[in-house]
Structure formats: structure tokens, C-alpha cells
Amino acid sequence: MPAVEVNHIVKSYADKAAVDDLSFSVAQGEIFGLIGPNGAGKTTTIRMMMDIIKPDSGDVTILGENLSEASKSKLGYLPEERGLYRKLSVLDSIIYLASLKGMDRHSAEEKANELLNQTGMLHHKGKKIEELSRGMGQIIQFIVTIIHDPELVILDEPFAGLDPVNTELLKRMFADLRNQGKAVILSTHRMNEVEELCDRILMINDGRAVLYGNLSEIKSRYRKHSVILDFEKELREVPGVTEKRTHKGYVELVLDGNTTPQQVLERLLSTGIVINRFEVATPSLNEIFLEVVGERHE
């Protein structure tokens, strides 16, 4: 049973379609990237998944059922822009929001202490939210998002404004969630985070799906016909290479249509140069994105 099944959802505001006929599914035990530029319709899609707003048409099933009050407790949501009750203490904030997800007070407090300890925030638990730094507040919100052990966790730009230490902490916790068989949806416009964490992705632009599927498949599909080479000594002319682009620390060799990277490697070795690095160039998600979006715009 997929964690999320989205079928042909449409949502329009005034005369503009924010989400236009979007379909995808997310499996349990995977980290799914929902990516796209600002204003692509990511947040609107998430809100429809959370049943905060209703789609004009199409439907969403979460864990095999339409979302109801009861099934909202199986979801954890970290919205893009964040805040908590400024005057409330850390522990009280966590317990209140956990109780709205159906946890009883006692187990909420127990779990809160455990998570605060895990994130090194335990000694801040009596402080008011307004006394915390921005990054600390974000960690507290992440705790609120996962404290009730949700089956599906949706995170909208989770790393925005976090320092590298907390970013690593969060990444580790995402991996833990996946290993526990939870579905994690990561919505972001930062492609490098997606490449590092996600198993599958949905890329949307102007409310429509432009790329959908396994991340490594997508990358191989958009593989350019070139190799990356770091070497010592002088590089001579290699047959089958049409262009040589010099970058900092490496050169990129663009191959002609009939030459495989394997053949180039053999030819390079035969010239006698010392090769430190040789790899088939895969485009970054960012480049794929620009390529795809560029295509659509043309």
C-alpha cells in the first residue's frame, strides 16, 4: 500500500491554476523529493495532501484512505515558514501540539524528553520559545512534526536557515525515519539536498509534473555524452573527442556519437598519461532542472 496516492488533482486560485492535473505516489520507507522553483505549486500540493485545502478535482489517499480527522494523526507536517507560541515553554508547546495529534499527556512528555535529549536540547525545555534562537526553534518544530510517530512526514524546506551541525542532525533523523519504514516527503528548491537524500522525485513547474521517477534513472536518462578526467602530464589529441572543456581541477571531454566512454579510457591509457580520476559525467539535478524547464519555456 503506498503511503500517498495522488490522482489528477487540480487547484485554481482566481483564474490561475496553482496545481494542474498532478498525479504521483509515494511508497512507505522512501524519501521522496517534491522539487520545483518557488511558486511551482509545491506548498499547494502539500496542503491538499494534508487536507488543509480541498482540491477542485482529483483525489488524495493517504495510507489507502481518504484523509479524516483520525488519519490526520498519522501525518507529520513541517510547514515552510515556521513559528510556535512565543510565550509558551518548549515542553508545553510540544505537549500541546502532540496532544492535538492524539497523544496523551504522559506519553507526549516522555517522548518529548527523549527527542529533546537526542537533539541536545533537553536543558532548554523550560525556556519560552521566544528565548530560543531561530535554529533551535526549528529543531523544536521538527520534534513536534515527528513526536507522534507519524506514518508519513512532510517537510517543506526543512533546512532553510539551519547551520551545518543542525542540518546534519536533521539528515540523520530523516534517514532513521526511512529506516523505520516511514514515508518522508521533502519539498525543496535546493537540488543538492535532494540528490543527497531522495530515492525518488517529482519535479513540478507551473503546477505540472515535469519529471517523475527514480532519481538515478532520471540522472542516467539525462546523462550527457561526456567524461570527466583528472590527469597528470600533457593530454594529447584523443580520437572520438569532439570538444575539450577545462574546468578547475578537471577537464570534461565531449564524445562524438560513435564513441563510448570505455573506448576513450582505453585510448587515454594508451597515450601513457597518469589518470587520477575518470568518470562518466552525470548532470546535476540542477542542470537537469534547467534543461527541462528551459525546454518547456521554449
Partner 1 sequence: MNKTLLIFRHEFLHTIKRKGFIIMTLIVPLLALLAIGVFQLISGIAKPTVEITTIGYVDESGGFQQYTSQGNITLVCFDTSDDATKALVKGDIKEYFVIPSDYVSIGVISRYTLEKQLDAPADITAAIKNFLLSNLLGGRIPPETIDRVEAPLNLVTTRLTETGAVAPEQGGLGNLIIPGVFSLLLALSIIFSSTYLLQGLGEEKESRLIEVLLSSVSARQLLIGKVLGLGVAGLVQVVVWVVSAPLLLNLASSSIGGFISTIQLPANFLVLAVVYFILGYLLFAVLSAGIGAISSNSREGQQLIGIFTIPLLIPLWFGSLLIAFPNNPIWVVLTIFPLTAPVEVIIRLGVSDIPAWELAASIAVLALSIIGGLLLTAKVFRTYLLMYGKRPNLGEIVRSLRSA
Which residues are near partner 1 by CB under 8 A? 47, 50-53, 69, 72-73, 75, 77, 79-88, 96-97, 99-101, 141, 144
- To partner 1, the closest distance from the beta carbon of 181 in angstroms equals 21
Q: Are 186 and 76 in contact (CB under 8 A)?
A: no
Nearer to partner 1, 25 or 73 (CB): 73
DSSP 121: -
- Distance CA(252)–CA(263), nearest Å, equals 16
Could you tell me the three cell numbers for 297?
Answer: 519555456
Q: Are 43 and 187 in contact (CB under 8 A)?
A: yes
Q: Which residue, 80 or 252, is less far from partner 1 as judged by CB?
A: 80
Q: Which amino acid is at 91?
A: L
For the bound state, the minimum distance from the C-beta of residue 83 to partner 1, rounded and expressed in Å, comes to 2
Strands, E assignment, 176-249: 183-188, 200-205, 208-214, 226-232, 241-247
Report the nearest approach of partner 1 to the CB of residue 204 (Å): 19
C-alpha cell at 115: 527527542
Cβ closest to partner 1, residue 142 vs residue 289: 142
Q: Min. distance of Cβ 4 from partner 1 in angstroms?
A: 14
Nearer to partner 1, 140 or 255 (CB): 140
**Residue with Cβ nearer partner 1 (97 or 229):** 97
If DSSP codes are grouped into helix, strand and coil, which group holds residue 116?
A: helix
Q: How far is the CB of 99 from partner 1 (least distance, A)?
A: 5
Burial class of 288 by CB neighbour count within 10 A (0 to 12, 13 to 18, 19+): buried
